[in-house]
Amino acid sequence: MPTMFAARERLRPVRRARTTNARRRESFTAFGMATPAVVLLIVFLVVPVALAFTLAFTDARLVSPTPARFVGLRNFTLLFQDPTFYKSLRNTAYFAAVVVPLQAGLALVLALLVNAKVRGVNFFRTVYFLPVVTSMVVVSLLWTFLYREDGLVNHVLSTLTLGHVQGPDWLGDPATAMPAIILMSVWQGVGFHMIIWLAGLQTIPAELYEAADLDGATRWHRFLHVTWPGLRATRTFVLVTITIAALSLFTQIRVMTQGGPLDSTTTVVYQAVHSGYDQQQTAYAAAVSLIFFVLVLSVSLVQRFLTREKD
């Protein structure tokens, strides 16, 4: 750093010598270079977010012979009377509440397993990561097959328990459909967060471990007093990203269960797509999207607040 400051000092006279013309040129070029990204973000992100707030108060449809009209809070009134909407909220919360700790915890275990200094960890890291590179659509199709009543999962269960356990029709039973989707989602996504944890683990200085070893700390103590505190920044990131991904649950539902059986797997995003695309109720879907937006925003703000407090 000191050398950089020195360099800047030396260059200062050159800078001063630059004319206002050069400044203007710099601004002009900078505007030119930033414009494509800024314009695209405005058109494809800012405007649609603003539209969610506008369309939700109209009766817009994707195709309609009549122009959209302002209808006040009608879409929200209907939404709050719709039992499916409450089920969507409940299922989304259920999914997030299980997946967040499960996936974050398992990912940390995997990261610790492949962070050890033994031979072959690279191989294991690669294998654990394979499902992440596989598309969720493919994973969902594959597991639809595995979860059949006469599918691989039940055959394996039966073999492992010597025939004592006869698995259910996982996706056809309201009691097991969501847990089955949760397991599959964790299976697919856990490798991603393993890598994030791993990157965090590798930022912890080795001296801290050596010092702990000198103090004769047990493995558990070492984890508690060196590893865990060292992962503070990573923790926030893992928490926030898994939560947002979990709240956005859609692909698995669309491919595997279409919200059924008995609405046991319908989610907020699934409901938005079903009403907005399948049933062409654009305005109603905008209302669902708006509520989802508020939900995500408040959850991430709360998480940010909680993690900040501890710092």
Residues 72-111 that bind another protein (CB under 8 A): 74-75, 78, 82-84, 110
Q: How far is the CB of 45 from another protein (least distance, A)?
A: 6
Contact pattern for another protein over residues 242 through 261, marking x by CB under 8 A: --x--xx-xx--xx--x-xx
Residues 271-290 that bind another protein (CB under 8 A): 272-273, 276-282, 284-286, 288-289
Angstrom distance (rounded) from CA 146 to CA 181: 12
SS3 263: coil
Residue recorded with tokens 């700790």: 101
Q: Which of 234, 239, 242, 265 binds another protein (CB under 8 A)?
A: 234
Token readout for 81 is: 């009377």
Q: Which of 1, 14, 206, 214 binds another protein (CB under 8 A)?
A: 14
SS3 85: helix
Q: How far is the CB of 19 from another protein (least distance, A)?
A: 12
Nearer to another protein, 196 or 212 (CB): 196
Contacts of 178 (CB under 8 A, 6+ apart): 91, 94, 95, 264, 265
Q: How far is the CB of 224 from another protein (least distance, A)?
A: 19
Query: Is the bond leading into 261 cis (omega within 30 degrees of zero)?
Result: yes
Q: Which of 198, 212, 226, 239 binds another protein (CB under 8 A)?
A: 198
Nearest to 241 by CA among 282, 205, 190: 190
Contacts of 92 (CB under 8 A, 6+ apart): 246, 247, 249, 267, 268, 269
Angstrom distance (rounded) from CA 174 to CA 180: 10
Q: Which residues pair with 70 in a beta bridge?
A: 58
Q: Which of 89, 93, 113, 204 binds another protein (CB under 8 A)?
A: 113
Cα dihedral sign, 257-279-268-44:
positive
Q: How far is the CB of 225 from another protein (least distance, A)?
A: 21
Residues contacting another protein: total by CB under 8 A: 128
- Determine how many CB atoms are found less than 10 A away from the CB of residue 36: 9
Angstrom distance (rounded) from CA 227 to CA 236: 15
* 298 scored as a contact of another protein (CB under 8 A): no
Q: How far is the CB of 56 from another protein (least distance, A)?
A: 9
* 167 scored as a contact of another protein (CB under 8 A): no
* 300 scored as a contact of another protein (CB under 8 A): yes
Q: How far is the CB of 252 from another protein (least distance, A)?
A: 10
Contact pattern for another protein over residues 21 through 60, marking x by CB under 8 A: --x-xxx-xxxxxx-xxxxxx--xxxxxx-xx--x---xx
Angstrom distance (rounded) from CA 153 to CA 270: 26
* 306 scored as a contact of another protein (CB under 8 A): no
* 170 scored as a contact of another protein (CB under 8 A): no
Candidate segments 88-96, 97-105, 198-206, 221-229, binder of another protein by CB under 8 A? 198-206
